Amino acid sequence: MDLSKPIASVLTPVLRNRPFADRTLCHLLRQRLTLPSLSLSDLFDDFDDQPVTLRKMPRGSWSTPTQDIVLLLKLALCAKPRRILEVGSFRGYTALYLAQNVEADATIVTVDRYSEHGEAYRQTPEAARIERRVGETGPELFAQDTRASYDFIFIDADHTYRRRSSRHRIGPASCFLRRLCRLA
């Protein structure tokens, strides 16, 4: 007798917003982690035709994989965002690539815990379009933003983003992406 569906119906509300519990119990709830397939070229007619440029290759073991960057840039080009939020910028290559590829009037806000991060775009012409914020993602970090001020949000890897404190900053037609770390 397969009890996974009844168990899932009881545990899903309990596990919501509790990633540790979700990961711990995921082997019991295999269908919970199944996402529907989505063809990005069906969602965006011009997805495959969007050209992206990477002028400088990322360096370091924690850099976002190049294929993920290309996918992110193509999505950004299709979505045509005016204001982009990146949570977890580390060296800053993703912010640099976004600044080099999206419309010239788009602005990028990066959030990172450490002030020394962001070396990839410092001393570049794109640095003027990138606003760097340092600290934990919480209400105080987004207090200066107006309601629905971001239309493209990228959370890199295991960084947190407190939805309750900043969800009203996300526009109604926003694109919200989260990259999960790949394990070798």
Total residues belonging to the chain: 184
On whether residue 184 sits in a domain, the answer given is no
- Shared domain for 8 and 56, answered yes or no, is no
Q: How far apart are CA 83 and CA 37, in angstroms?
A: 28
Mean pLDDT, residues 173-179 taken together: 63
Q: How far apart are CA 7 and CA 18, in angstroms?
A: 16
- Shared domain for 163 and 124, answered yes or no, is yes
Domain count, the chain: 2
- Shared domain for 22 and 67, answered yes or no, is no
Show the domain range for 18.
Answer: 4-33
On whether residue 84 sits in a domain, the answer given is yes
pLDDT of amino acid 182: 43
- Shared domain for 8 and 91, answered yes or no, is no
- Shared domain for 80 and 118, answered yes or no, is yes
- Shared domain for 23 and 49, answered yes or no, is no
DSSP structure class, residue 145: S
Which pLDDT tens digit goes with each residue over 59-118? Answer: 777 777 888 899 999 999 999 999 999 988 889 999 999 999 999 999 999 998 888 988
Token pair recorded at residue 77? 């080009």
Which pLDDT tens digit goes with each residue over 151-172? Answer: 898 887 655 555 544 555 666 6
Q: In the chain, helix, strand, coil percent, each to 5?
A: 35, 20, 45
- Shared domain for 65 and 134, answered yes or no, is yes
> Using an 8 Å Cβ cutoff, are 76 and 153 in contact?
no
Q: How far apart are CA 129 and CA 92, in angstroms?
A: 13
Q: Is pLDDT of 14 > 80?
A: no
Decide: pTM greater than 0.75.
no
> Using an 8 Å Cβ cutoff, are 157 and 180 in contact?
yes
pLDDT of amino acid 80: 93
Percent of the chain residues past pLDDT 70, beyond the cut: 65
- Shared domain for 134 and 72, answered yes or no, is yes
Q: Is pLDDT of 176 > 90?
A: no
